[in-house]
Amino acid sequence: MPPADDRRDRESDGAVLELQNVSFTYAARGGLLEAVANVDLTIDRGEFVCIVGPSGCGKTTLLRLMAGFILPTQGKVLDAGEPVRGPDWRRGMVFQQPYLYPWLTVLGNIEFGPRARGVPAAERARLVQGYLQMVKLEEFADRHTYELSGGMQQRVALARVLANEPHTLLMDEPFGALDALTREHMQDELLAVWRRTGATVVLVTHSVEEAVYLGTRVVACSHRPARIIAEIETCFSRTNGAGSQGRTIKADPEFVRLREQVLGYIWD
């Protein structure tokens, strides 16, 4: 089980992820399609960065660049100063749909990464128990994932990535497929996980409200190709105690003002 205090030192300086003048062009059928243009972005350890922008502007492409699934056609992506050359367990990706292994139990899914990396059994058990508990699924450890609701499946997907102890969680509209109420609960659970682990989070969402609620910084992107048009510091996720305060915070005049400000950047 992970220690209660932050394993990663939030105080230590230095960027976790750095994008330097990054552009990406897809070679699509019969032509080129520029998805990301000249993005400069520095993400520090322990930050919670939310990326918003119009549909199809290049947000997923940006995350895939950070993950190392694709490499920039121009510019550099750096992880702790080192160029990203491919995917790495230390940068864990959570997708909109929880891609789980249906032939494995909840426990088996969470254990998959550490097992593949050769983590010894005792250490593996410790990790799995800790993260099962963190996402509140201890009672469901032996179930198959198809027996679970969408929200529970997404919690398994989160725990599965966390079991690799990534320094950064890359999340692509992770709650987009959930009903409104489950989504709000998941937001608070994610905040709790973020505080517990000290991990850096980069989350893409089409919900400006979600971004302002969760983020320590909101990055607003232009229409395709994605360029950064504004970066807005937010503070609600640092200060709120999570849980039932969520509704109050989202109705707070300062929250509403920031939400409208961010919306103003991406609204046409």
Binding mask 222-261 for ligand ADP (x = CB under 6 A): --x-------------------------------------
Residue 240, SS3 per DSSP:
coil
**152 closest CA partner among 123, 111, 185, 112:** 185
| Residue 45's binding partner out of Mg ion, ligand ADP, none, with CB under 5 to 8 Å set by partner kind | none
Per-position DSSP letters for 56-79, written without gaps between them: TSSHHHHHHHHHTSS--SEEEEEE
Binding piece for ligand ADP, criterion CB under 6 A, among 59-67, 76-84, 148-156, 258-266:
59-67
Q: How far is the CB of 56 from ligand ADP (least distance, A)?
A: 4
Residue 2 binding result from ligand ADP, Mg ion, none, given CB thresholds of 5 to 8 Å by partner type: none
Would you call 82 exposed, middle or buried from its count of C-beta atoms within 10 A (0-12, 13-18, 19+)?
exposed
Task: Report the distance separating Cα 49 and Cα 216, nearest Å.
Answer: 6
Q: Which one of 14-22, 58-66, 175-183, 246-254 is the stretch in contact with ligand ADP (CB under 6 A)?
A: 58-66
Scan residues 38-77 and list those touching Mg ion (CB under 5 A).
Answer: 60
Closest CA to 192 of 138, 232, 251, 245: 245
Q: Give the residue, chosen from 57, 134, 171, 219, that forms a contact with ligand ADP under the rule CB under 6 A.
A: 57
Binder among 15, 33, 104, 232 for ligand ADP (CB under 6 A): 33
How many helices (H) and strands (E) the chain has is answered by: 9, 10
Determine the size of the site formed for ligand ADP (CB under 6 A): 13
Residue 70 neighbours by CB distance under 10 Å: 17
Of 19 and 35, which has the nearer Cβ to ligand ADP? 35
Least Å distance between CB 120 and Mg ion? 37
Q: Which residues contact 186 (CB under 8 A, 6 or more apart)?
A: 151, 154, 155, 174, 175, 178
Q: Which residues bind ligand ADP (CB under 6 A)?
A: 26, 28, 33, 35, 53, 55-61, 224
